[in-house]
């Protein structure tokens, strides 16, 4: 799940163990209270290409590796609990 902040462009992913917490699609656009630990993930260019290629294969979309110019750092919340209002 990805949650947005109160300013345009603010967002952070919430990662939970599959099947432990389920976020219903019908709650998209609702407010959420999330508990967890913020993680910093640092990807090399090669790791990012591999991850994006895998994502494209899962979604059945095309991916051009030349669009990745460098690695990147991503922040996410390792969720331990959530409530959607």
Q: Among the ranges 19-23, 47-51, 78-82, which has the highest mean pLDDT value?
A: 47-51
Question: Is 60 a residue whose pLDDT tops 90?
Answer: yes
Confidence of residue 17 (pLDDT cuts 50, 70, 90): confident
Q: Beta strand pairing status for 72-84 and 11-15?
A: parallel
Question: Is 70 a residue whose pLDDT tops 90?
Answer: yes
What is the rounded distance in angstroms from the CA atom of residue 29 to the CA atom of residue 66?
A: 33
Q: Is the pTM of this model over 0.85?
A: no
């Amino acid at each position: 799940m990805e949650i947005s902040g109160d300013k345009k462009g603010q967002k952070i992913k919430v990662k939970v163990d599959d099947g432990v917490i389920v976020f219903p699609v019908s709650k998209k656009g609702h407010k959420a209270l999330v508990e967890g630990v913020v993680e910093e993930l640092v990807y090399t260019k090669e790791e990012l290409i591999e991850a994006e290629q895998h994502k494209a294969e899962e979604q059945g979309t095309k991916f051009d590796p030349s669009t990745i110019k460098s690695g990147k750092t991503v922040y996410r919340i390792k969720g331990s609990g959530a409530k959607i209002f």
